[in-house]
Every structure is written in C-alpha cells, then in structure tokens.
C-alpha cells in the first residue's frame, strides 16, 4: 500500500466511533429500503472506496426515512475487480433485496455492474468515466453522475491549450483499459483538430507503480505539455516522479482526471503548485447544496468533502429523491422519475438526460496554488475554468 492510502486509512481511522456505529445501524434496520455501496475497499483504490462509503452513509443518515420506511445500506468491497463486483451485487440483491446501488469507481467494474443491474431489475448510478457507460453499453438501469471521458478532456485540454498558445507538442501517459482509451482518443481528436503534435504515448497496467521509464521516454520527446491520463494513486505517483525529474520546469503538466482534495492532501502544495488538474468536484464550488455538504462533513467528520465522498453522496440523494417523487421503491418507477430529472446538485443545476441517463453538469479545471497563497489548509487550487461538453445522444452510441 502506498503512502497516500496509508494516510487516508489513518484519517478514516480517526472518524468518530458513533459514525461507524450509525453505519452499522443503517445496515441492519428492520423493514428498511436497502441500498448498496459497491466500491473498492481494498487494493490500490481502497481510499476512494472508504470515502464513497462515508458519502452514502451521510446521505442516508440525512434523510433517515423515505416512504415512511427507514433507509439502510451495505458497503461491498469490489476490490476493483469486475467479477468480484458482479458477485457481490448479486449476493446483496438476493440476500437483502438491495435494488439501489451507487458505486463502481473503476470503469471496468461499473460497466459490469451496470449490466447486472439491468438483469436484477435494480437501479445503478456511478461516478466512473468510460464513455461506454452512457454510450454503446447504456441500459435502462444504469445512470452516471460523473462527466464522461470526452467531456473531461474537452473541459481541460482544450482550455489549457487556449491558455498556452505556444504549446505545440503533447506527450500522454495512459492506463491501458477502457477509461484510459476514452481519455486518449478524446485528446487525440483535439490535438488533430488544432494541428498539435502528439509526440508519444506510454501505456501502463492498472497495477503499475513505477513510472520512471515512461517519464524518461516523455522527457526525450521534449513535450510542451505532459498529459497524465491515469487516476488516483497512479496519477499521484506519476506526478511525483515527473516533478522529481524536473518536468515542471520544462513543460506544463495536466492531470486530466484528478480525485480532488484527497489527492492534493497526499501530494502537498509544493508538488501541486502550477500543475493543472481536471476535477468532477471541488469543495469550493459556490452552490447551495455544496455549501450544505461542506457544513455537514465539517460537522460530522471534521473535514471538507472530497470527490469520492461527494460523488457517492449526490448519487445516493438522486435515488432517494426519485423514490420520494415516485412514491414507490419499485425500481421501474424510480427510473422513470430519474429520467429527465432536473435538480439543484453539488455543481449547481444538474439534469439527467433521459435518452442516455447521463447527468449534465460542469467539469472543472483547477490550478495548484503556491503554499503562500493558500487561505486555509485545504485551499490548494483555483478554479480556472468550468463548463459542459457532452456528445449529442445520436453520437454516443446509446440505444436504450
């Protein structure tokens, strides 16, 4: 386990015991409407999973009841493996009748669980990024809160290149699975459109921890922009090693899909200074619900919300609100309410597109601040750009 995850585990270990007791009570409530939080609780993405667990717990605790019934949930350790994820959600659906799932941090497990949700007559909402989730592999049971890879690249690489008109050479480092391919293809499209040279790409596996060889290749290509397309601890390790090689002095670094506050905490302000980060969420977003969540997490957990927590929180709220509007816990009726649903979310007004179940919301480009400019311990970055980019439904490949 790397240093980042050790720090996160230590932080979670300090969570008040009453909150863990409340989670246990939520899982055991008699006659409750059952939810499931299928996320990696072990392995390389365990820290993300543990914060997602807290996000669902906070949301259900906030509501307490829906349809005059208590709300309960069970966290499931997917280990980040599609087969394990499918087995766990099958078991919880059969054993507890859990039909409302929010999770699937990795695209590969989210795609597998989406197919299982359709078979199980369940509702599944995820924060994973692969375009296929609301594209060619879309289905009536699956929804996605996070912006897909296309939108993430459009709202990070495009504005960055506009800000850096002299940047003519880009090198990419990419995880070799569906998520990474989605980001890379979107980036290639922009580079081709703008006549910018893609001077090289390094693929790596989901278990890779050592990136020095890839970075040596990148430095040899002399890029103006190093575009990092991996996620979580892998993007942090890539950035640490890139900075140690002096790449911050020689090129602009962009992590297209950052995990937000938890990543900044693990890296520290000095490493992040001047680096650009794409983000689904930032605790400094000026919206009523986000301010409410910040206050809630500060009160309950003595911390600001990060992306993993916030994503799980809002996904859970969406399902509960739809259930209340439907006046039913019948998944088919809840799905009907979620389709086309417009609501005040963490990023402002958000809307679920009926045709492909994609939430339409902002994506953010952050820039790391100097340590001397930070107003508080979590003020690591400035939002330099935000916006929305989504393919028209006809171009997504989604056919419900």
Look at residue 26 in the predicted model and tell me its pLDDT: 59
Confidence of residue 2 (pLDDT cuts 50, 70, 90): very low
Q: Is the confidence at residue 153, as pLDDT, over 50? A: yes
Q: Is 16's pLDDT higher than 80?
A: no
Q: Which two tokens stand for residue 98?
A: 């859990």
Alpha carbon separation from 160 to 51, 69, 138, 253, 352 (Å, rounded): 30, 49, 31, 10, 28
Taking only the tens place, the pLDDT of each residue in 201-252 is 999 998 899 999 999 999 999 999 999 999 888 999 999 999 999 999 999 9
Are residues 190 and 161 in contact, defined by beta-carbon separation less than 8 angstroms? Answer: yes
356 pLDDT band, cuts 50/70/90, is very high
Higher pLDDT, 17 or 71: 71
DSSP category for residue 132: G
Measure the CA angle with vertex 205, ends 204 and 206; round to 5°: 130
Which tokens in the block code for residue 112? 């597998």
* Paired sense of beta strands 225-228 and 252-255, if any: parallel
Q: Are 109 and 82 in contact (CB under 8 A)?
A: yes
- pLDDT over 70 (residue 4): no
CATH superfamily ID and name for 150-279+363-395: Response regulator (3.40.50.2300)
Pair of tokens at residue 306:
């990060």
User: What residue ranges do the domains of the chain occupy?
Assistant: 33-147+286-360, 150-279+363-395
Question: What is residue 400's predicted lDDT score, i.e. its pLDDT?
Answer: 85
Strand partners, 203: 174
- Average pLDDT of every residue of the chain: 92
How is residue 273 annotated by DSSP? B
30 pLDDT band (50/70/90 cuts)?
Answer: low
Tokens of 256: 């297209």
Please report, rounded to a whole number, the percentage of residues in the chain having pLDDT higher than 70. Answer: 92
Contact between 341 and 352 (Cβ < 8 Å): yes
Q: What is the pTM of this model?
A: 0.88
Is residue 344 pLDDT above 80, yes or no? yes
Predicted pLDDT of residue 387: 97
Q: Do domains 33-147+286-360 and 150-279+363-395 have the same CATH topology?
A: yes
What is the distance between the alpha carbons of residues 39 and 80, in angstroms, rounded to a whole number? 7
Q: Report the CATH superfamily, name and number, of domain 33-147+286-360.
A: Response regulator (3.40.50.2300)
What's the confidence (pLDDT) of residue 74? Answer: 96
Instruction: Provide the pLDDT for residue 3.
Output: 47
Cα 68 to chain center, whole Å? 32
pLDDT grade for 8, boundaries at 50, 70 and 90: very low
Return the sign of the alpha-carbon dihedral for residues 255, 258, 263, 268.
positive
> Per-residue pLDDT for 1 more than 50?
no
pLDDT at 19: 55
* Confidence bin at 15 (pLDDT 50/70/90): low
Averaged pLDDT, 340-345 = 98
Chain position carrying tokens 């692969």: 130
pLDDT tens, residue by residue, 65-103: 999 999 999 999 999 999 999 999 999 999 999 999 999
65-66 and 69-77 strand pairing:
antiparallel
- Compute φ and ψ for 148, nearest 5 degrees: -70, 175
């Amino acid at each position: 386990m790397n240093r980042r995850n050790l720090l996160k585990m230590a932080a979670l270990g300090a969570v008040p015991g009453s909150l863990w007791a409340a989670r246990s009570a939520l899982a055991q409530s008699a006659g409750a409407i059952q939810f499931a939080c299928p996320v990696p609780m072990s392995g390389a993405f365990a820290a993300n999973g543990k914060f997602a667990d807290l996000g669902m717990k906070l949301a259900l605790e906030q509501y307490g009841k829906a349809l005059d019934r208590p709300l309960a949930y069970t966290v499931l350790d997917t280990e980040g493996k599609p087969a394990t994820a499918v087995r766990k959600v099958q078991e919880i659906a059969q054993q507890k009748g859990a039909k409302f799932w929010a999770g699937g941090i990795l695209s590969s497990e989210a795609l597998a669980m989406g197919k299982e949700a359709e078979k199980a007559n369940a509702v599944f909402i995820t924060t994973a990024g692969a375009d296929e989730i609301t594209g060619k592999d879309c289905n009536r049971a699956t929804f996605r809160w996070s912006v897909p890879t296309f939108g993430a690249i459009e709202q990070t690489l495009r504005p960055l290149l506009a800000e850096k008109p002299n940047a003519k050479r880009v090198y990419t480092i990419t995880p070799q699975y569906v998520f990474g391919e989605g980001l890379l293809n979107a980036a290639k499209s922009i580079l081709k459109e703008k006549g910018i040279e893609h001077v090289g790409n390094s693929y790596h596996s989901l278990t890779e921890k050592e990136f020095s060889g890839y970075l040596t290749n990148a430095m040899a290509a002399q890029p103006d922009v190093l575009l990092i397309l991996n996620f979580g601890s892998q993007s942090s390790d890539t950035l640490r090693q890139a900075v140690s090689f002096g790449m911050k002095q020689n090129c602009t670094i962009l992590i297209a899909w950052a995990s937000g506050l938890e990543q900044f905490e693990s890296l520290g302000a000095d490493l992040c200074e001047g680096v650009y980060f794409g983000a689904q969420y930032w605790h400094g977003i000026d919206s009523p619900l986000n301010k409410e969540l910040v206050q809630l997490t500060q009160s309950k957990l003595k911390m600001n919300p990060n992306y993993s927590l916030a994503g799980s929180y809002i996904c859970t709220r969406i399902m509960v609100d739809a259930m209340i509007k439907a006046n039913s816990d019948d998944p088919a009726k809840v799905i009907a309410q979620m389709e086309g649903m417009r609501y005040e979310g963490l990023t402002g007004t958000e809307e679920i597109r009926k045709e492909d179940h994609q939430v339409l919301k902002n994506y953010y480009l952050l820039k790391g601040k100097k340590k001397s400019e930070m107003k508080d311990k979590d003020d690591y970055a400035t939002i330099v750009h935000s916006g929305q980019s989504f393919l028209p439904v006809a171009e997504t490949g989604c056919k419900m």
